[in-house]
Amino acid sequence: MSQTYSVAILGATGAVGTELLTLLEERNFPVSQLKLLASPRSAGKTLTFKGQEIAIEAVSAEAFQGIDIVLASAGGSTSKAWAKAITDAGAVMIDNSSAFRMDPTVPLIVPEINPAAAADHQGIIANPNCTTILMGVAIYPLHQIQPIRRIVVSTYQSASGAGARAMEEVKQQAIAILDDQTPPTESFPYPLAFNLFPHNSPLQPNGYCEEELKMVNETRKIFGESHLRVTATCIRVPVLRAHSEAINLEFDGPFDLTQAREAIAAAPGVELRENWEENYFPMPNEASGMDDVLAGRIRQDISDPNCIDLWISGDQIRKGAALNAVQIAELLVEKSWVKGKAAAGTAG
Ligand code: A2P
């Protein structure tokens, strides 16, 4: 018997929230009822789902009654504040924030990598950090052939990671700078337009910022390799919505480049995109709006025969956030790891 599910989007008005709405419609997720939740600021505004206007509600504990799946993307403090109300209501929370990612009782899932880990959920499943998802999808096919021993990654992260307001701010900054005016800097500490700077997440005593340590710790958890050696440098760049990453991978022995290309080309969620004659490789403007992570420029590291380099671009809002969350919801449905309701007309 087919099932349908009551779904709530917490943070429905945000950059990821609106993409979640689009994806539920595009992928024809079996939704019986959709609730759009945000802060009281947005209450009463409407968004459209399958041609129907749905009013946004201010989040409250009552709003989760009768809901089966909550897709949350309203920041860590909002997720922490509402997690108990969500699980008490019997719903599964797929949380896009970092609030629960490293909690040992919470599965951290990329469906192309560790889907089975979602079976053990206790009401909360965490959606990994965007740069971690994009890198993981691209390099996991290689890790399956020959275990990766060390990852050195540098990121080129777009404004969208800081939300819809930050994306708008970069546009305003560009206009202001072109007009010889002082650019507004509310979402970011410094102007991002025509500039770049190390990721603006809090610095830790060891000199890494939080974003860099997320890449280290979350990659280990998703790959199930607690000692995997990872180092990251995360940089914000004036791109609107797709992140790029330069990745160096070390193996125990040489990795055949043809095999690497074939593995990436065949893997789900990643597309090999390289044309060496044309010097054409993944670019964030082409990755924007795409489901697959683009990977290319795969080459031998001339400084070490056991290492290879590659370059990726992936849509931070899609695979880096909303798409991965919806794929987790699809996984729960496919495996019956979430309760639903009999679809109208098929009950009995
Ligand atoms: P709102 O638009 O009402 O502020 P982004 O990551 O693009 O900045 O989006 C953040 C999302 O999280 C928005 O939908 C925002 O709603 C929502 N949000 C922010 N703070 C809260 C809160 N305290 N309670 C509920 N939703 C919140």
> What's the mean pLDDT when you consider all of the chain?
97
- For ligand 1, atom 24, the nearest C-alpha belongs to 39
Tens-place pLDDT, residues 133-153: 999 999 999 999 999 999 999
With beta carbons less than 8 A apart as the criterion, state whether 165 and 135 touch: no
What per-residue confidence (pLDDT) applies to 344? 61
Phi-psi region of 125 (alpha: psi -120 to 50; beta: other; left: phi over 0): beta
C-alpha distance across the termini of the chain, in Å: 9
- Residues with Cβ within 8 Å of 121's Cβ and at least 6 positions away in sequence, in order, are 92, 106, 107, 332, 337
How many CA atoms are closer than 13 Å to the CA of 284, on its beta-carbon side? 20
pLDDT for 348 equals 39
Is 234 in the active site?
A: no
CA distance 272 to 274: 6
Residue 1's pLDDT is: 57
Q: Is the CB of 17 under 6 A from ligand 1?
A: yes
Give span(s): CATH 3.30.360.10, the chain: 132-316
Per-residue pLDDT, averaged over 191-208, amounts to 98
Question: What's the rounded Cα separation, in Å, for the pair 225 and 204?
Answer: 23
18 and 9 in contact (C-beta within 8 Å)?
A: no
Ligand 1 atom 15: residue of nearest CA: 11
Architecture of domain 132-316: 2-Layer Sandwich (3.30)
Confidence of residue 31 (pLDDT cuts 50, 70, 90): very high
Residue 298 Cβ < 6 Å to ligand 1: no
Is residue 307 part of the annotated active site? The answer reads no
What is the spatial distance between Cα 192 and Cα 77, in angstroms, rounded to a whole number?
26
For residues 265-272, average pLDDT: 98
80, two tokens: 């922490």
Query: How much is the pLDDT for 347?
Result: 37
Instruction: Identify the residue whose tokens are 């909690």.
Output: 103
pLDDT digits (tens, 9 = 90+) for 288-338: 999 999 999 999 999 999 999 999 999 999 999 999 999 999 999 999 999
pLDDT at 346 over 60: no
Residue 10 Cα to ligand 1 middle (Å): 8
Please give the pLDDT value at position 131.
Answer: 98
CA of 39 to the centre of ligand 1 (A): 6
Structure confidence by residue, pLDDT tens digits, 206-254:
999 999 999 999 999 999 999 999 999 999 999 999 999 999 999 999 9
Please say whether the beta carbons of 12 and 18 come within 8 A.
Answer: yes
CATH 3.40.50.720 positions along the chain are 5-128+322-335
| CA 237 / ligand 1 centre spacing (Å) | 23
Contact 165 CB / ligand 1 (< 6 Å): yes
- pLDDT of residue 345 exceeding 70, the answer is no
Helices of type H across the chain:
15-26, 76-88, 130-145, 164-178, 210-223, 257-266, 284-287, 323-334
Domain 5-128+322-335 indexed as CATH 3.30.420.40: no
pLDDT of residue 2: 84
